[in-house]
A and B are shown apart, each in its own frame.
Chain A
């Protein structure tokens, strides 16, 4: 079982993260599209921090013996990879849109120059 002090500290940090996410959404600095992902992350972290036997229980379900926090690392790493992959798709889309805008701009400028 996680020691009480660590559990309390982790819970506080997780709740602060959740509040930061909420504030970012409220002030429209984070799009709804990404908001759900980060809200879910915050909630998972809060649950894992507050539920002191949680990590052991989940490790037990998955058959992880010896070092239960390994589950946390594995899930965390997977999560980071998924987020990065998602960002790659976002960047690709933005780059494509950027190119199309540059093309449209250049074509319109050429047309405008002919008139003026």
Chain B
């Protein structure tokens, strides 16, 4: 199916119609990147509502975002990526959005890939689509330590999910109402991407990986360095181990 067709069908009211659709952008001090990402999103899909969740940013992220017409949710202080993303999903849930996509405010997720990402969700084939950077060839380079870490994590999460996954640390995701509900109620705060997948599986959410190409950051540096990624991986593996013994919270009821 053509991706433009998928989006226009959604607007026309097909099953799993995404007439109300939202892009969630968690952002921490991204004044230099956020404007361009918002412009690109508008260009890809003018009917897409935009919400920027500023995680206690100390720069002009919020001003830049609202100048571009995005709704801005300002957390009063830094709560971390998990809590920030969850705020966006709570908003999506409360405002009755049928489709929510999440992408980073730093520009590494290319809005042009969005139609491809949402296609399986709009078609009703999956509740949650994850844009995987290694499923596609090229376009993205990262350190060796980080690549190995991502590969090990993918192996472990694939085992838990009983489904082959190649990139479990991707924050480029599309969710239908069911997945929005699960994330709004129960998004793990420490490692929302990796642990979120395990949580989603516990909620019996059907997930699919979509190959996408990712870009380098335009400005500033990623929050995760090379050595830190080893430490990060060990911590995630421990968290995943504990998650296996954890009961899934009940998702929110429709208000």
Contact residues of A: prevailing secondary structure: helix
CA gap between A105 and B71 in the complex, in Å: 15
Closest residue of chain A to B82, judged by CB? A99
Instruction: Report chain B residues within 8 Å CB of A109.
Output: 73-74
Contact B76 A99 (CB under 8 A): no
**Quick check: is A106 within 8 A (CB to CB) of the other chain?**
yes
Segment at the interface with A among B87-95, B111-119, B130-138 = B87-95
CB distance from A92 to the nearest CB of B (A): 11
List of B residues within 8 angstroms of A105 by Cβ: 76
Q: Mark B68-84, 1 if CB is under 8 A from A, else 0.
A: 00011111110110010
Given the known interface contacts A106-B53, A107-B94, A110-B91, the answer about A99 and B73 at a Cβ–Cβ threshold of 8 Å is: no
Q: B83 — nearest CB in chain A belongs to which residue?
A: A99
Q: Does B155 sit within 8 A of A, measured CB to CB? A: no
Query: Which residues of chain A are within 8 angstroms of B71 by Cβ–Cβ distance?
Result: 110, 114
Residue of B72, B91, B189 touching A99 (CB-CB under 8 A):
B189
* Set of chain A residues within 8 Å of B83, measured between Cβ atoms: 99, 102-103
B86 on the A face (CB < 8 A): yes
Q: B73 contacts A106, CB within 8 Å?
A: yes
Q: How far is the CA of A110 from the CA of B79 in the complex (A)?
A: 17
Chain A, Cβ-Cβ closest to B80: A99
Report yes or no: B73 in contact with A110, Cβ–Cβ below 8 A.
yes
CA distance A28 to B238 in the complex (A): 40
Q: Which of B31-67 contact A (CB under 8 A)?
A: 53
Chain B residues in 8 Å Cβ range of A99:
79-80, 83, 189
Give the interface centre of A96, A103, A114 by most chain B CB atoms within 10 Å: A103
- Is the beta-carbon distance between B94 and A106 smaller than 8 angstroms? no
Chain A residues lying within 8 Å of B87, measured Cβ to Cβ, are: 103, 106-107
A32 CA to B79 CA, complexed, in Å: 30
A100 to chain B, nearest CB (A): 9
Chain B: minimal CB distance from A88 (Å): 15
Contacts of B74 in A (CB 8 A): 106, 109-110
Contact A103 B86 (CB under 8 A): yes
* A102-B77 contact in complex given A107-B87, A107-B91, A110-B71, C-beta closer than 8 Å: yes
Chain A residues with CB under 8 Å of B53's CB are 106
Measured between beta carbons, the chain B residues less than 8 angstroms from A107 are: 73, 87, 90-91, 94
Inter-chain CA distance A26–B73, complex, in Å, is 43
**21 residue pairs bridging A and B, Cβ less than 8 Å apart:** A96-B189, A99-B189, A102-B75, A102-B76, A103-B75, A103-B79, A103-B83, A103-B86, A103-B90, A105-B76, A106-B73, A106-B74, A106-B75, A106-B87, A107-B87, A107-B91, A107-B94, A109-B73, A110-B73, A110-B91, A114-B71
Which A residues form the contact surface with B (CB < 8 A)? 96, 99, 102-103, 105-107, 109-110, 114
Known contacts A103-B83, A105-B76, A110-B71; 5 additional CB pairs below 8 A are A102-B79, A103-B79, A107-B91, A107-B94, A114-B71
